[in-house]
Structure 1
Amino acid sequence: MDNQPDDELIHDLYATFGLAYYQSECLHRGLCIALTYLGLPPSDFLTGPRAEELLAQSFSLTLGEVAEKLDSILPAEWNTEIREAVERRNFLAHHFWFDRAHLMHNRDNVRRLIAELNAYADKFDKLDAQISEWPKLKEKQKQLGITDETLEDNLMKILAGEDEEPLPDKQTVRELERKLRKQQRLIRVWEPALEGGRRSLIFELADGTLWQLSDIGLGRTRFAEVGPGWKEHQKIKPYLPADIVPRPRSTTPWDYEFTLANGVAFWVKPGRRKRTFTWGLRIPS
């Protein structure tokens, strides 16, 4: 009876488990961010909604799934460590308490459990830092214009409680992926006026959803509904409605086509200036 753990020691055990699991979540998110950064096109070809879409796709993956996707991207010598981290995380999530419950009635055993959990937490933390400081990832951040100051500013906004629109959840991401791989009915192309006199193209599908052009075809837009004063694009209107594949096959950013009614091709190409694209209609002779 003298070797029974007291409440404080049990509290430390629970707290250390929380720390270990938290560090595994940090590693998970860090790997998701790495996968997103490394999969993004150059900043000249990138739009905000498209970056958010890719980040949401990465965050929808389990730790094991994102580790598998990075297997051939990260340095080969890290693969064993990452696989072990996945196994440890899964053990914590699904087996730790069941497998270790019989040890919680002895003070020395509880201390050993705390030491075990601290070792897990330390391993997750070091691996997360190792990936975050990987030169290839740092270089990609630099190419995308993501500076340490930008990250610090965003962290300060989060700590100050400034709300950001949440990313799509896992189910929404899965539905989006399925939707854009299938043929959809394009019924209108709108031309809303933006600040500074700029113009944009917003594509409306038969289900009422709105989309904008991205590096690989139609992508998410921040517009949820047709706004007042929007006008249909008169050059495109005669060739709608049309059945299109929102994400046509393409190997180059901003280089693809949609086939509209009467065989008319709506083509997209990179612009001559940075951060621009051009489009046009190719009408059969």
Structure 2
Amino acid sequence: MVRDNTYIKIKPKEVPEPESLDEKEVYAFFGLASYTAQCLEKALVNLAFTYSLTDKNIVTQEDWDALFEDVNKKTFGRLLGMVKKDLSTSDEVLEELKQALDKRNWLAHDYFFDSIGQFHTESGRMTMIKELTEMIKLFNKWDQFIEGVYLQIWQQHGLTEEVILREIEKLKAENA
């Protein structure tokens, strides 16, 4: 969901338990894994955009929108490259974020191709669901980490949780 170039995510609750081991469960978990990967990617957009603001002279709404659009077009890998230089954290954290990128790329481009043999048996589908569940947890973990970083920066500039919650309420009212 986008409002004034700031992504507001609807967070999933805990990772659900599968209701069965049929094909549609694999698709459902794949969808949730894709969703959480996208949330992580948009968290990187928000962080990269936040860091980019310090390097730019933003005077108009058009400048703001153009910068956001430029950052938002970047791939997960390019976003990670952008924030690496500004994110003061350990090499271990950066390596784990790189692993999340690799998992996201595999999920988006090769997951079903690589897993097709498993998809045709109940035990294989169970393995796939477990694997997808681990990816969901991984993406959620790093989404929350990155969100914590940019929210802390935003708070330093007056964009508090209360302001964000008011915007969410406005969005809900507009879409009711």
1:118 paired residue number: 133
- Consecutive unaligned residues of structure 1, counting only runs of 5 or more, are 1-6, 163-285
2:75 to 40, 59, 62: 62
- Residue 110 of structure 2 corresponds to residue 100 of structure 1: no
Distance 1:46 1:147 in 2: 22
Superposed, 1:22-101 pairs within 5 Å as 22-41=35-54, 46-74=59-87, 75-77=89-91, 78-101=93-116
| 2:148 counterpart residue number | 133
Q: Deviations over 1:174-220 (max 9, x none)?
A: xxxxxxxxxxxxxxxxxxxxxxxxxxxxxxxxxxxxxxxxxxxxxxx
Separation of aligned partners in 1, 2:155 and 2:161:
9
Corresponding residue of 2:165: 152
SS of corresponding position for 1:146:
coil
Deviant stretches of 4+, over 4 Å: none
Stretches of structure 2 that go unaligned for 5 or more consecutive residues are 1-19
Post-superposition offset of 1:40: 1.2
How far 1:155 moved relative to its partner?
Answer: 1.8
Q: Which has the higher strand share?
A: 1
Question: Which of structures 1 and 2 has the larger relative contact order (alpha carbons within 8 angstroms, sep 6+)?
Answer: 2
Among all aligned residue pairs of Structure 1 and Structure 2, give the percentage whose two residues are the same amino acid.
Answer: 25
Contact residue 40 and residue 140 of structure 2 kept, 8 A: yes
Task: Compare the two structures and name the one with the higher helix fraction.
Answer: 2
Mapped to 1, the partners of 2:172 and 2:152 lie a distance apart of 27
3-state secondary structure, aligned to 2:86? coil
Residues in 1 aligned to 2:24 and 2:118: alpha-carbon distance in whole angstroms: 15
Could you tell me how far apart the structure 2 residues matched to 1:32 and 1:152 are? 20
Q: TM-score, normalised by structure 2?
A: 0.78
Q: Output the amino acid matched with 2:164.
A: L
Count of aligned positions: 154
Tell me which residue corresponds to 1:109: 124
Alignment partner of 2:155 out of 142, 146, 158: 142
Q: Which of 1 and 2 has greater Rg?
A: 1
Q: Provide TM-score, normalisation by structure 1.
A: 0.50
